[in-house]
């Protein structure tokens, strides 16, 4: 007898089916992909936001969810969840009132996850404790926003994070300042071993965050920074040219480090394609992917302690 292990729901417009509750209760389901058309300009979807999505799948291992913050998320019995990608967006067609509690229910439902890609524009939320979470990618897509509060809350509520990836070059907070949490999260002191910031573009708040992470991540093995403006880097110039120039590589090398074994890698990147919202599409390869930037780059590896390397490869 056939069993359902993989389900794709793409381009869903729930009001067309006149359904207020979508119930996915499948005891054999292992992979679920739900992708809404999040381009609100395609038509009036105001009625399409008031539905309830229910998922009850005890064997679910992979969840890929791209959706507006709906009337209610109910994700229950997901004890086997290994990997999730969640894009929970605010609809421009209705008031965001109570979107925080709805998003909180969504996050509570995936609290057992081990590998998480997440982007949400909601600010009024409560995070559960992610005891199993070891890999966190915040932002999901190239060009997305950083949410300072969300980052700090995830560090606080995820005591076992080992790998942290921060996508995007913009931040959600209007103040555009990095304010460290009152206490250093335990994951920084005990478990975080790898950090990647693929789209660094020289903002002061980015520098402040990098300095904080380098100083407080006590067991960090590697930090990788993708620097988009390769033209301003002087590391691969002659010694005479270097004397009259400066770049962020030198600033990074001066930051104190909490881990004596940390290697800091700078990648100079020249963007090849448009900075598109490539992450906003259902990807059947998601279950087989590791975390990778969604836009193609030409990459040159730079490191700062080998100034005379012929291959222009420098490591801090």
pLDDT tens sequence across 95-150: 555 677 888 888 999 999 999 999 877 777 889 999 999 999 998 555 566 678 88
Q: What is the mean pLDDT of the chain?
A: 74
Q: Are 200 and 227 a contacting pair, CB within 8 Å?
A: yes
- pLDDT band with cut points at 50, 70 and 90 for residue 230: low
DSSP-H helix ranges across the chain? 99-109, 148-157, 186-190, 204-216, 239-243, 248-254
pLDDT computed for residue 81 by the predictor: 97
Q: What percent of the chain has pLDDT over 70?
A: 62
| Residues 15-34 as b or e (16 or more Cβ within 10 Å = b) | eeeeeeebebebeebbbbbb
Distance of CA 170 to the CA centre of its chain: 13
The yes-or-no verdict on residue 191 having pLDDT over 80 is yes
Query: In this model, does residue 213 exceed pLDDT 70?
Result: yes
Q: If you search the block for the tokens 């949400």, which residue do you land on?
A: 120
Answer yes or no: are the C-beta atoms of 161 and 191 closer than 8 Å: yes
Question: Is the model's pLDDT at 180 over the cut of 80?
Answer: yes
Q: Which two tokens stand for residue 284?
A: 């059947």
Residue bearing the bigger pLDDT, 133 or 232: 133
Please state, in angstroms and rounded to a whole number, the distance separating the CA atoms of residues 161 and 192: 6
Mean pLDDT of 147-164: 92
Please state the rounded mean pLDDT for residues 15-35: 82
Handedness of CA 284, 93, 25, 21 (dihedral sign): negative
User: From edge to edge, which strands make up the β-sheet containing 62-68?
Assistant: 6-12, 31-36, 62-68, 83-89, 115-120, 135-138, 163-166, 194-200, 222-227, 263-271, 297-302
Q: Which pLDDT score, from 0 to 100, does residue 40 have?
A: 47
User: What CA–CA distance (Å, rounded) separates 126 from 101?
Assistant: 7
Cβ atoms within 10 A of the Cβ of 45, count? 21
Segment among 33-47, 233-247, 302-316 with least mean pLDDT: 302-316
Average pLDDT over residues 180-207: 90
DSSP letter for 208, please. H
Q: What is the pLDDT of residue 246?
A: 54
Query: How many CB atoms lie under 10 A from the CB of residue 293?
Result: 18
Q: What is the pLDDT of residue 247?
A: 66
Q: Are 297 and 271 in contact (CB under 8 A)?
A: yes
Most confident of 27-36, 249-258, 292-301: 27-36
**Which of 212-221, 224-233, 243-252 has maximum average pLDDT?**
212-221
CA-to-CA distance for 143 and 45, rounded, in angstroms?
25
Share above pLDDT 90 across residues of the chain, in percent, rounded to a whole number = 36
Q: What is the pLDDT of residue 229?
A: 63
pLDDT digits (tens, 9 = 90+) for 236-272: 545 544 454 456 777 788 889 999 999 988 887 654 4
Strands across the sheet containing 52-56: 21-25, 52-56, 72-76
Per the model's pLDDT, the better-predicted residue between 242 and 289 turns out to be: 242
How far apart (Å, rounded) are the C-alpha atoms in residues 101 and 214?
Answer: 34
N residues, the chain: 316
Predicted confidence band of residue 77 (pLDDT cuts 50, 70, 90): very high
């Amino acid at each position: 007898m056939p069993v359902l292990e993989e389900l794709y729901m793409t381009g869903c417009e729930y009001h067309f089916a006149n359904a207020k509750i979508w119930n996915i209760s499948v005891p054999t389901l292992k992979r679920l992909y739900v992708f809404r058309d999040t381009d609100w300009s395609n038509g009036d979807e105001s009625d399409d936001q008031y539905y309830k999505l229910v998922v009850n799948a005890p064997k679910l291992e992979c969840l890929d969810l791209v959706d507006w913050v709906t009337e209610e998320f109910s994700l229950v019995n997901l004890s086997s969840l290994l990997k999730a990608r969640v894009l929970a967006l605010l609809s421009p067609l209705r008031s965001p009132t109570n979107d925080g509690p709805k998003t909180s229910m969504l996050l509570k439902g995936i609290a057992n996850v081990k590998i998480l890609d997440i982007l949400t524009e909601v600010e009024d939320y409560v995070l559960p404790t992610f005891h199993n979470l070891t890999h966190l990618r915040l932002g999901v897509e190239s060009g997305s926003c950083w949410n300072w509060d969300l980052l700090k809350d995830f560090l606080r509520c995820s005591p076992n994070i080992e790998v942290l990836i921060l996508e995007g070059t913009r931040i959600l907070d209007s103040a555009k300042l990095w304010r460290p949490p009152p206490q250093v999260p335990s994951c920084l002191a005990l478990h975080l071993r790898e950090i990647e910031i693929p789209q660094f573009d020289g903002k002061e708040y980015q520098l402040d965050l990098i300095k904080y992470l380098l100083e407080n991540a006590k067991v960090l093995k590697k930090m990788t920074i993708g620097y988009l403006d390769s033209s301003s880097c002087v590391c691969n110039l002659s010694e005479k040219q270097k004397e009259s120039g400066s770049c962020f590589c030198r600033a990074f090398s001066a930051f104190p480090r909490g881990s004596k074994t940390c290697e800091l890698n700078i990648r100079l990147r020249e963007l090849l394609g448009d900075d598109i919202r490539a992450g906003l599409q259902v990807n059947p390869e998601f279950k087989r992917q590791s975390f990778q930037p969604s836009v193609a780059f030409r990459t040159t590896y730079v490191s700062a302690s080998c100034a005379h390397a012929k291959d222009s490869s420098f490591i801090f």
